[in-house]
Amino acid sequence: MSTVLERLDRLPRRNLTVLALKGISTLVPGGWQNITSASELIAGVMGSDDPALITQVRARADGLSRARHEGYGRALSLYDAVNRSQKAAGGLRLLANVGGALPLVKRVANLTPTSDTLQAVDLSLKVAAEMLAFTQVNGLPGDSFAEFGASLNEYAGEARVRMAALICFDALLPLGDQALQRLDGLLGGVGQQELRLSPAYAGMAAMIPGRGDEAHLGFLRRGVDQWLGWAGGFVGNLGLSGQKAVQALESTLGPWQGGFEQLATFLDAFTDTYQHTGVQAVARRLVERAAAEI
């Protein structure tokens, strides 16, 4: 299995994901740097480009990454799970958008949840993955809701841009500018059947506290409730809206001719923003710890 820093070294320097993140980062104070080199990350954290020191920190970081009792690898598996779900959800919505043209595709689309319900499930699982990754990296119990809520205020760099992308791509664009106010009601209509349709749930269920789908749904709603308090302030402070998100994305992706929901579907199907920044954020926390321990 690849270490966290090996995963970082393999991240793309330029593709649709990077362009989308660069666009949305223009809305976030401090912006975002696409770090795809472990040596560059270590040098930045240490404030030194001494090769011997970089080698020493990397060796310690790789050892922590491979240790089974540490949560760095499990944190990455959570981001991987929601990334797979994002791709699948985007594909289902693409099917729904063309359902009127092909009878077979129409029947498939009719079996899927409504777009808003599917989006609410996807968003809640991404929030849960964020919280569980936070607890894994910091060695906390999985139900540390208050600690997670407090940590959001400290988010910076790739973590802050990931939250901006989550709010814009998974809430404001597909669900409208009142998405955060609507989310609680949408999640109230989600049952076990809708939850089990998400590929992310299959990949995350073993790490979600509680036994059974109902307990897991309760966990998802509590996590979203904790996140919403912070997200509402984030949106208000930055003046985020679907229109601002589109304008920011057009600065890097070029003109968009479709609707907001179609753009959200495109981003789900063809970008890996959550996974990309998740690898970067976990790598940073890992290097910070390794540097402190040598």
Give the per-residue pLDDT at 262: 86
- Please give the Cα distance from 190 to 67 (Å, whole number): 37
Give the per-residue pLDDT at 97: 56
Give the per-residue pLDDT at 65: 96
The string of DSSP codes covering 2-50 is --HHHHHHTS-SSSHHHHHHHHHHTTSTT-------HHHHHHHHHT---
Give the per-residue pLDDT at 114: 52
Give the per-residue pLDDT at 140: 93
Give the per-residue pLDDT at 119: 82
How long a stretch of residues is the chain? 294
Give the per-residue pLDDT at 93: 61
Cut 0.85: pTM above it:
yes
Mean pLDDT, 10 residues at a time, the chain of 294 residues: 95 96 96 96 95 97 95 94 75 55 44 66 93 94 93 95 96 95 89 83 88 93 94 96 97 91 87 95 97 92
Give residue limits of the domains in the chain: 4-293
Do 116 and 96 touch, CB atoms closer than 8 A? no
- Please give the Cα distance from 33 to 280 (Å, whole number): 10
Do 131 and 162 touch, CB atoms closer than 8 A? no
Give the per-residue pLDDT at 89: 63
Exposed, middle or buried: residue 69 (CB in 10 Å: 0-12, 13-18, 19+)? exposed
